[in-house]
Amino acid sequence: MFSGIVEARGTVAEIRPEPPGCLLVIGEPKIAAQTKLADSISVNGCCLTVIAADEQTMSFQAGPETLARTNLGELVPGSLVNLERALAVGDRLGGHFVSGHVDAVGTLELRDDHGDWSFFWFRTARRLSRQMASKGSIAVDGVSLTIVDSQPERFSVALIPYTLAVTTLGPLQVGGTVNLETDILAKYVERLVEARNW
């Protein structure tokens, strides 16, 4: 479980094919030095298991399902990724509960910059829009954000300068893809409503 508060941006050091998946090596000394085998790390909002770590890098195995359903399949050496270690019992919860199980990939449709601040519209699948509401929570590439407006196939968020500076959302351009995870509570509410017709 994660909070959606990104701890650092890491850099993809290596991608090694391991058919049908791949080995993903990410460099970020601050987190790598405190990471051990089998830890869970959110990489662009996708929960991955550490299979090796040293003082500089962490290694993960990504299977075909992960590569097909997230933007991790688009990474190349040098790509930046958002990183967050799993919550520890007793930690402050600054964002919202994020499972690290990506629901879908969305696309940045519009970016409206106002000085150091930005307003983004993301295109998403209509099925996910049923789990979104204005002032509700969404994880975008693992970043906990508040939805400003929600429409049937898109939603908007307002980004403060700090978020733009310390996450991969800052350099994101129109057409860029992001991993999306809706609020876990919204999933259960939707399921409860659906179950009435069973």
- In this structure, of 17-26, 66-75, 88-97, the range with the lowest mean pLDDT score is 88-97
Provide mean pLDDT across the span 129-148: 97
Chain-centre distance of CA 119, in angstroms? 18
CB hemisphere CA count around 12 (13 angstroms): 20
pLDDT band at 32 (very low <50, low <70, confident <90, very high): very high
Examine the pLDDT at 93 and tell me if it is beyond 90.
Answer: no
Q: Provide mean pLDDT across the span 113-118.
A: 96
Q: Domain limits of the chain?
A: 8-85, 104-195
Angstrom CA distances, 156 to 67, 84, 111, 147, stand at: 26, 23, 10, 6
Q: Is the pLDDT of residue 186 over 90?
A: yes
| CATH T-level assignment (fold) for domain 8-85 | Elongation Factor Tu (Ef-tu); domain 3 (2.40.30)
Is residue 56 over pLDDT 90?
yes
79 Cβ contact list (under 8 Å, min separation 6): 11, 12
Class (C level, CATH) for 104-195? mainly beta
What is residue 91's predicted lDDT score, i.e. its pLDDT? 87
Fold identical between 8-85 and 104-195? yes
Q: Is the separation of the CB atoms in 37 and 44 below 8 Å?
A: no
Kindly state the average pLDDT of the residues 146-173: 98
Is residue 145 helix, strand or coil?
strand
Q: Is the pLDDT of residue 33 over 90?
A: yes
Q: What is the pTM of this model?
A: 0.95
Residue 71 scores a pLDDT above 90: yes
